[in-house]
Structure formats: C-alpha cells, structure tokens
C-alpha cells in the first residue's frame, strides 16, 4: 500500500530500517479514512493513537472558558498530530483533533509504540528525535507569541508554512496565531495592498 510507503519513508529520514523492520512497523499500525469535520480525538476520552497524516488537513484545539476555541496545532500531509499529553500519559484528552477535509491517516497505538521502543533501539532513537524536534518547535512558537507582533507572527507563518495557509480556514489560522478573524483579515488586506 502506498500509504505505508509514505509512513515508512518518514521513519527512514531519521533511522535506517531493514525490510523486516519496515514490515514489522507496518504490521503494528492501521490505515484509516476520515471525513471532513470528523474528530479523531475528543476531550475526556484517552487518546490512544499517535497519528501520521498521509493526506488531509487537521487541527488540534481546545475550547476556553468563554467558549472561544484556541488552535494548538495543524497537520497536513506527512505531519503528525495528537493530544500528546493525553497520549503520552494515557489520561483523558483536553483537545479536539478535527479533520478539516477528507483524508487518510495512519494510527500507531500507544501499546504498539511502547513495544517498538522496547524491542528495537532504532525506534527508541526515532521517537526521541521527533520528540526533541517537537519540543524545540514549541519553544520557538512560545517565544514568537511572547515577543512578536500579530503581523510578524502572521508573516513568519506564511513564510514557513505556505501550504498550511492555503489549506486551513481563516478562523482556524487566526485562532492559532492568537488573534480575531477580523484582525487577521486586516493584516491580509494590508499585505495584499502593499504588493499591488
């Protein structure tokens, strides 16, 4: 299946795998087709999977006390998404993870991941590397939120993730960047008028 090849290729960016190891990895995961607006994680339920996106667009968000949603993460093709706090500690989730378009995902069960790490140091290395990279990304995002203006955050996001900007709804992007949809519209219009 082509879906498995994308998945395996992601692992092979960080570790070398034999054919036997590739087959073993693929035997522990499942391919799932999802529909637009389908939830793969919901609050109060334990998140059982780390999810690799083969195709589609997803967002992880929480609902604040005032009923406003706060987007925590996006994922498009060849990215991972989950409620990591729920997944790692196997406790009830606080996030929704929603599909923003029809897609295909590969899900790795928590117990299967533990088995992979216990039986082969290569997989332990892989998960360590992607965890370190995620931590570094989150720190960078936090520093950006604390030190940059809304316009600077938008420009930085557009420059780094143009494909995401094209695929996510404006309300979700505004929520991720910590601003209202109206304010994001003003920034975008200002940017367009500068270019023309």
Average pLDDT over residues 127-133: 95
Q: What is the dihedral of CA 183, 184, 190, 196, to 10 degrees?
A: -150
At 193 the pLDDT is 75
Pick from 78, 85, 135, 129: which is nearest to 105 by CA?
A: 78
Average pLDDT, the chain: 94
Can you tell me the distance from the alpha carbon of 126 to that of 21, in angstroms, rounded to the nearest whole number? 13
The answer on pLDDT for 35 being more than 90 is yes
pLDDT at 196: 62
pLDDT in tens, 45-73: 999 999 999 999 999 999 988 888 999 99
100 pLDDT above the threshold of 70 = yes
Could you give the C-alpha distances from 78 to 13, 37, 41, 165, 178, in angstroms and in order? 12, 20, 19, 16, 25
d(CA 154, CA 55): 25
Distance of CA 64 to the CA centre of its chain: 20
Would you state the structure tokens that stand for residue 84, as one six-digit string?
Answer: 């990591």
């Amino acid at each position: 299946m082509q879906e498995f090849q994308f998945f395996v290729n992601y692992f092979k960016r960080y570790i070398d795998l034999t054919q036997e190891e590739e087959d073993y990895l693929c035997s522990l995961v499942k391919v799932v087709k999802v529909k637009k607006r389908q939830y793969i994680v919901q609050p109060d339920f334990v998140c059982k999977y780390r999810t690799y996106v083969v195709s589609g667009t997803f967002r992880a968000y929480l609902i604040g006390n005032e009923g406003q949603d706060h987007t925590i993460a996006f994922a498009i093709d060849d990215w991972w998404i989950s409620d990591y706090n729920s997944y790692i500690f196997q406790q009830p989730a606080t996030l929704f993870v929603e599909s923003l378009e029809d897609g295909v995902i590969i899900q790795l069960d928590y117990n299967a991941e533990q088995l992979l790490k216990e039986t082969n140091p290569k997989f332990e290395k892989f998960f360590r590397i992607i965890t370190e990279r995620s931590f570094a990304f989150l720190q960078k995002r936090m520093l950006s939120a604390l030190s940059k203006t809304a316009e600077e955050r938008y420009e930085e996001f557009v420059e780094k993730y143009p494909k995401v900007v094209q695929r996510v709804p404006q309300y979700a992007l505004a929520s991720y960047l910590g601003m209202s949809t109206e304010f994001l519209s003003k920034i975008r219009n200002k940017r367009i008028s500068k270019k023309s």
